[in-house]
């Protein structure tokens, strides 16, 4: 059996690993258009300073994924103090089979660090915990009168339930209008370039999931009781904690790209071919249009090559896949309505500006104690700031410096995207000074990374995506997996799960369109369906 995988990101690599586990009579070729392994989970190395695109916490509610990660990269517990180690040991009993190392059996750099999450929101010049916590600091920042308005607004949202027709409705139903207007409305518009009224509530069901004021209160009470009764601090397991509320996560020593680079190396040792810098030029179908038969690409000598396969697994953006799917006579395989839906599927693109700055002290040092800072200030374009030192100290070449990533959301080829690197770096420096996070004389070095099609968006022709999915699922040997492959705003664990399930279907010869429908249910668990259902009552 010969299989082609388009894309060397988490979905494509996880698929390949699982298929090799299940079937020994398989030959796999992976085609990656860039010179990086890992998709948007790659790690960029700039002069020894590493950039994690968007930030990737290694935490999942899936035991299967957690075990897979720690099998590849064992958890390093040697850096934990005694109370943290006890807390970890207690919590990890909930997930049997996690692979750990300690100071007596450490092996190499293929390890997972245990990292404490600290994320905050910068709003009106004040820092709030993210996700929002109902603590004294929040009350002091907002003010007692505003807190009263927040409470009344939340009660009104519960008394006046209505159908969630858009993302604004969805968020208000969970937090009330006041908190929505303070912490969600402008930031969401900055991220997506659209007002929340124009975005499907499905995005909220997928990304905000179980988060609400009620869940925040429950989380606070549970943690307090846990500490009082068991003398436990927050921990790795956290399986029953909402994903947005976790306080510790795993992280590869040198960033997420290290994980996927090593997985790729392992696959090569099992005779998987990985063709780097090889964008796909076409996918040719059989004369009856039912089967994807060939991958078309250019070899190193520039010659067009056509390679036949039994199965084709795609993680490339759907709009590109549909555009490239043709017959041998160059006729489009998919009908005009599907071509139209695919061509109009929206994405949001991403720019990270890395700034290396001198070590600073005083109040500013405390401001740089986060993994992420969400910037909800209307006078700047930056949407989020990463401090890479706090993801892993090994991401920074000189630990006496701070390595910071300013993240800008934009559309490919818009005014921001088209700015020169010098212009973008000057913008980043100006904005981080305006936010009072550093001084003008602290800058050492900088770089710019543009990442197209980072976020599949939930508006425009996305409302018709079910029609497209039903059509593509009928191409029995063509599987769509991963974030861009499925146009779903998945985390990497969900992308991996789509790869695992696709591999199982192929290994077990369950390749009908009905079976494929199960892939699209990943990251839309029943509890989320129920939440949507309750909101829409």
pLDDT of res. 146: 86
Distance CA 419, CA 424 (A): 6
Please give the Cα distance from 129 to 122 (Å, whole number).
9
In the sheet that 2-6 helps form, which strands lie side by side, from edge to edge?
273-275, 27-31, 2-6, 311-314, 478-480
Label residue 151 exposed, middle or buried (CB < 10 Å: 0-12, 13-18, 19+): middle
| Confidence (pLDDT) at 202 | 83
Residue 524 CA: distances (Å) to CA of 58, 79, 322: 19, 36, 24
Helix (H, G, I), strand (E, B) or coil at 154: helix
Q: How far apart are CA 452 and CA 331, in angstroms?
A: 28
Rounded to a whole number of angstroms, the CA Rg of the chain reads 24
**Closest by Cα among 450, 510, 518 to 486:** 518
What's the confidence (pLDDT) of residue 525? 47
What pLDDT, on a 0 to 100 scale, did the predictor assign at position 186?
A: 87
- Angle CA(512)–CA(516)–CA(519) in degrees, nearest 5? 165
pLDDT at 98: 73
Q: How far apart are CA 107 and CA 173, in angstroms?
A: 50
Which positions of the chain have pLDDT values less than 50? 93, 104, 220-221, 224-225, 227-235, 245, 525-537
- pTM assigned to the model: 0.88
Phi-psi region of 304 (alpha: psi -120 to 50; beta: other; left: phi over 0): beta
Q: Are 479 and 217 in contact (CB under 8 A)?
A: no
| Helix (H) and strand (E) counts in the chain | 19, 22
Q: How far is CA 499 from CA 35, 360, 402, 503, 506, in A?
A: 22, 44, 36, 6, 11
> What is the predicted pLDDT for the residue at 150?
87
């Amino acid at each position: 059996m010969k299989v082609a995988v388009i894309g060397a990101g988490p979905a494509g690599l996880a698929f390949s690993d699982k298929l090799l586990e299940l079937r020994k009579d398989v030959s796999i070729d992976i085609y990656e258009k860039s010179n990086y392994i890992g998709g948007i989970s790659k790690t960029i190395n700039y002069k020894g300073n590493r950039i994690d695109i968007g930030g990737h916490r290694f935490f999942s509610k899936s035991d299967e994924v957690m075990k897979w990660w720690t099998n590849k990269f064992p958890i390093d517990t040697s850096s934990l103090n005694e109370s943290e180690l006890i807390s970890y040991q207690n919590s990890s009993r909930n997930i049997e089979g996690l692979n750990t190392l300690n100071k007596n059996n450490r092996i190499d750099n293929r390890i997972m660090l245990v990292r404490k999450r600290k994320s905050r929101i910068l709003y009106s010049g004040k820092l709030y915990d993210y996700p929002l916590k109902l603590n004294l600091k929040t009350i002091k920042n907002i003010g007692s009168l505003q807190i009263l308005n927040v409470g009344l607004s939340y009660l009104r949202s519960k008394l006046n339930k209505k159908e969630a027709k858009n993302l604004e409705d969805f968020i208000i139903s969970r937090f009330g209008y006041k908190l929505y207007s303070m912490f969600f409305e402008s930031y969401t518009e900055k991220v997506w370039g659209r007002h929340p009224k124009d975005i499907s509530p499905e995005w909220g069901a997928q990304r905000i999931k179980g988060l609400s004021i009620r869940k925040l209160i429950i989380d606070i009470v549970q943690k307090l009781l846990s500490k009082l009764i068991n003398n436990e601090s927050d921990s790795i397991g956290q399986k029953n904690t909402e994903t947005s509320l976790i306080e510790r996560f795993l992280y590869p020593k040198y960033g997420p790209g290290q994980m996927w680079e090593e997985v790729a190396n392992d696959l090569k040792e099992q005779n998987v071919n990985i063709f780097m810098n090889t964008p796909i030029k076409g996918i040719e179908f059989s004369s009856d249009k039912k089967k994807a038969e060939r991958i078309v690409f250019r070899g190193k000598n520039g010659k067009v090559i056509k390679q036949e396969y039994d199965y084709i697994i795609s993680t490339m953006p759907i709009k590109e896949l549909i555009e490239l799917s043709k017959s041998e006579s160059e006729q489009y395989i998919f009908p005009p309505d599907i071509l139209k839906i695919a061509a109009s599927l929206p994405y949001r693109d991403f720019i990270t500006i890395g700034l290396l700055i001198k070590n600073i002290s005083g109040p500013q040092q405390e401001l740089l104690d986060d993994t992420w800072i969400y910037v909800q200030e209307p006078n700047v374009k930056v949407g989020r700031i990463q401090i890479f030192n706090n993801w892993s100290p090994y991401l920074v070449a000189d630990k006496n410096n701070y390595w910071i990533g300013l993240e800008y959301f934009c559309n490919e080829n818009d005014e921001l995207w088209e700015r020169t690197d010098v212009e973008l770096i000057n913008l980043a420096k100006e904005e981080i000074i305006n936010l009072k996070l550093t001084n003008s004389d602290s800058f050492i070095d900088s770089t710019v990374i543009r990442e197209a099609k980072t976020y599949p968006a939930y508006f425009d022709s996305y409302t018709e995506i079910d029609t497209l999915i039903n059509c593509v699922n009928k191409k029995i040997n063509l599987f769509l997996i991963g974030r861009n492959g499925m146009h779903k705003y998945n985390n990497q664990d969900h992308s991996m799960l789509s790869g695992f399930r696709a591999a199982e279907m192929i290994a077990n010869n369950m390749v009908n369109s009905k079976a494929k429908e199960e892939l699209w249910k990943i990251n839309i668990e029943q509890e989320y369906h129920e939440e949507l259902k309750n909101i829409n009552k």
